Chain A
């Protein structure tokens, strides 16, 4: 009997692994770590553009300016409102649609395809589409209201209403993402557990509340986390639909950073806003993960 050759170890020593790791580490350093450090440096600098880019140490000037900038606080509160309202609605609607579609339904495949279409569109295209939808004189929404004998709505020119129009657009865009992921999670649930509960005479609500929902929580948390991180960066649709207006009533943090950094070319302060947004997103993600762990621990003990 021939002896089998020994299986080669992929990385017998640290030295031989290094050449394989180097490209990935290099790319990470080049495209993630270096830009982050450069942004951090900018936030502590005074920038001069005379004859080329020159950075002088500026201490905490930009951070002090941030703390006293009412436009920053306004864009922060707008962003938080958009994220909280849009992600909550997307989760609830996505879950409702997933539950609806998780049963034998004639034409279910067509519905599923139609439901996920908005997610496949580019935000810029969605921005232009909804800008036309909201147009007060020639837009289809007001035309429908007019046909129903209802007064026109100032969808994007009323400073109190405009932010809700932005939320509506975001919900339309991203509910399909929640739907498709939650539907996949629902279809992956162990059927025998649900059947056993049904045999025990569990009502529909009890089945959802005590069996289905706890099993869906990890997936729901994951998609909520992903959507929250993404929603904090909302910019394209706002830029196209309202430009942050009327006034600054729909200006998000990213849009504020864009205007500051790339229209005013105030690079240091624009970088400070961007870094503040990063810290906010990081804190939100950590908080969401912590809350979820507590919830899961409580479920285990209940």
Chain B
């Protein structure tokens, strides 16, 4: 009897070994078996979609598990800051705006990835455009991986600006040829010319321009894109936000006031209700053919140029942001007149990045998932797929046009689109977005006053004076000396 039980025991043991063999084999060669990573980013589809696209293959390859948690854009910063400040370790990875790097890396909430990036040949770090390499750099260390490229450009309807009848009428009215705007004055003239009449030949009233004026709807970046050309003296640092000697705000200097006067005047040159538009409205309305001009990130080109419902597909031109014949030099306190318009492409927002939280228990797995999104092949797939919200940020993204054509782009839209983005990023006077601790507070303080000026509650000068006073308080609250040091380091200036 005992022998029989022993035999049964041996057989059961063998059966269990056989049954469990595939599990052991499956676990072999999978470096992150059992690791669960919580990834936090924006609600789908935009930005969350790349996580959803690449997570299944990553899970299969590594044995790890991805748990995606999302929130609306307006709540990303606060949820991340709450998690960091309270030390809840709620997330392992976050896909966030590079503009927040000052708060996140500056407050030591992110893992330093410098060594991992340097050791990662497959990532092909050198293929990432230098501008975007900069966006993840804080104090000489790399705290995230770029996964997106963001720069503002101007989109125009070629069928409107190249129409011979419109060209003749425009020349009669303004005394110069109708062409894609080279200066902000030309941009305003074109917007005015096309505003409020049936110029598309379909019997519908069309408008001049589309921009985002809504507070909390990215208005800060739209205004800054106008201001950059008026205040960015080529080769001089500290033009855009603060005097690097004192942290005195620049935003109420005559260059910014001129830009705000221009910007406020545009409210009446777009569709009714444009004062409440966010960037999403700009994209959908441009694709619907509502206006001749639009200023936005590359997404307007993608929606207009690839969406099957777009009525402007095959009719879109893209150009670098217009310039200004004069530039205000904050050092001399005078306007300087240049031989040709001063152009200063603005890297608004700076792109989305993938960072690893310092509290993660699986740093290697977390880095591996970030680099999966950022590596050359997958990132090309992401930037040429609808609704990922990601735009080109590697040199290779511009070199191969096959994916873009498969995406739905047609020539000459595609050449114009990629050419304008590439030229903006390579421009020697391209301006980076603000990246300091308290960035969100600076942004909200300015955006509130921009909204008041746009609504006609106060004058542009008064609005910017108020914003400058708020900025001074924020800087004092953060510690002026500390902010001077951080700002100078960000500009690449030596410490005082």
Residues of A within 8 A of B (CB): 46, 49-53, 71, 135-137, 152, 154, 156-157, 159, 242-249, 259-266
Partner of B273, one of A46, A51, A52, A154: A154
A263/B454 in contact, CB under 8 A: no
Could you say which residues of chain A place their CB within 8 Å of the CB of B456? 159, 247
Closest to B74 in A: A263
| Residues B275 and A262 in contact, CB atoms below 8 Å apart | no
Chain B residue contacts of A154, Cβ below 8 A: 272-273
Whether A248 and B216, one on each chain, are in contact in the complex, defined by CB atoms closer than 8 angstroms, is no
State the CA gap A115–B275 with chains docked (Å): 33
Given A136-B271, A157-B273, A264-B445, are A52 and B85 neighbors across the interface (CB < 8 Å)?
A: yes
| A262-B81 Cα distance, complex, nearest whole Å | 9
A157 to B454, CA, bound (A): 10
Contact A242 to B457, CB < 8 A, known contacts A53-B85, A136-B271, A264-B444: no
Given A243-B215, A262-B75, A49 contacting B457 (CB threshold 8 A): no
Contacts of A159 in B (CB 8 A): 455-457
Verify if B77 is at the interface (C-beta below 8 Å from A).
yes
Least Cβ distance of B288 to chain A in Å? 10
Which residue of chain B lies nearest to A263 when distances are taken between CB atoms in the complex? B444
Closest A residue to B86 by CB, please name it: A53
**B272 near A51 (CB under 8 angstroms)?**
no
B445 touches A247 (CB 8 A): no
Q: How many residues of chain B are within 8 Å of chain A by beta carbon? A: 36
Q: Is A247's CB under 8 angstroms from B457's CB? A: yes
Name the distance in Å between A15's Cβ and chain B's nearest Cβ: 37
Chain B residue with the shortest CB-CB distance to A152: B272
Inter-chain contact A245/B74, CB cutoff 8 Å: no
Which of B107, B216, B441, B454 contacts A266, CB < 8 Å? B441
Question: Is B61 in contact with chain A by the CB < 8 A criterion?
Answer: no
A51, B104: Cα distance in complex, Å: 10
Report the separation of the CA atoms of residues A63 and B338 in the bound assembly, to the nearest whole angstrom: 49
A265 and B455 within 8 A (CB): no
Any A CB within 8 A of the CB of B366: no
Given A71-B448, A246-B451, A265-B81, 14 other A-B contacts at CB below 8 A?
A46-B477, A49-B84, A51-B107, A136-B272, A136-B273, A157-B273, A242-B276, A243-B214, A243-B217, A245-B451, A246-B454, A264-B440, A264-B441, A265-B103
The minimal Cβ–Cβ distance linking B255 to chain A, given in whole angstroms, is 23
Residues from 282 to 333 in B contacting A, C-beta threshold 8 Å: none
Q: Chain B contacts of A152 at CB under 8 A?
A: 272
Tell whether, in the assembled complex, residue B215 and residue A244 are in contact, meaning their CB atoms are under 8 Å apart: yes
What are the residues of chain A within 8 A of B271 when measuring CB–CB?
136-137
Which residues of the other chain, A, contact B107 by a CB distance below 8 angstroms?
49-51
Q: How far is the CB of B466 from chain A (nearest CB, A)?
A: 9
**Chain A nearest Cβ from B170, distance in angstroms:** 25
Cα(A233)–Cα(B451), bound, Å: 23
Q: Complex Cα distance A293/B430, Å?
A: 68
Contact A156 B87 (CB under 8 A): no
| Alpha-carbon separation in the docked complex, A106 to B195 (Å) | 53
Q: Is the pair A137, B273 in contact by a Cβ cutoff of 8 Å?
A: yes
Residue numbers in A under 8 Å from B84 (CB-CB): 49, 52
B108 within 8 A of A: yes
Tell me, yes or no, whether B364 is within 8 Å of chain A by CB. no
A245 touching B275 by the CB < 8 A rule?
Answer: yes
The answer on a CB contact under 8 Å between B444 and A248 is no
For residue A246, which residues in chain B have a CB less than 8 angstroms away from its CB? 275-276, 451, 454-455, 457
- Determine the chain A residues whose CB is within 8 A of the CB of B108 once the complex forms: 50-51
Alpha-carbon separation in the docked complex, A152 to B77 (Å):
38
C-alpha gap A261/B182 in the complex (Å): 41
Closest partner residue, chain B, to A241 (CB atom)? B276
Pairwise interchain contact A263-B81, C-beta atoms closer than 8 A: no
Chain A nearest Cβ from B106, distance in angstroms:
8
The answer to whether B272 touches A157 (Cβ under 8 A) is yes
* B residues in contact with A49, CB < 8 Å: 81, 84-85, 103, 107
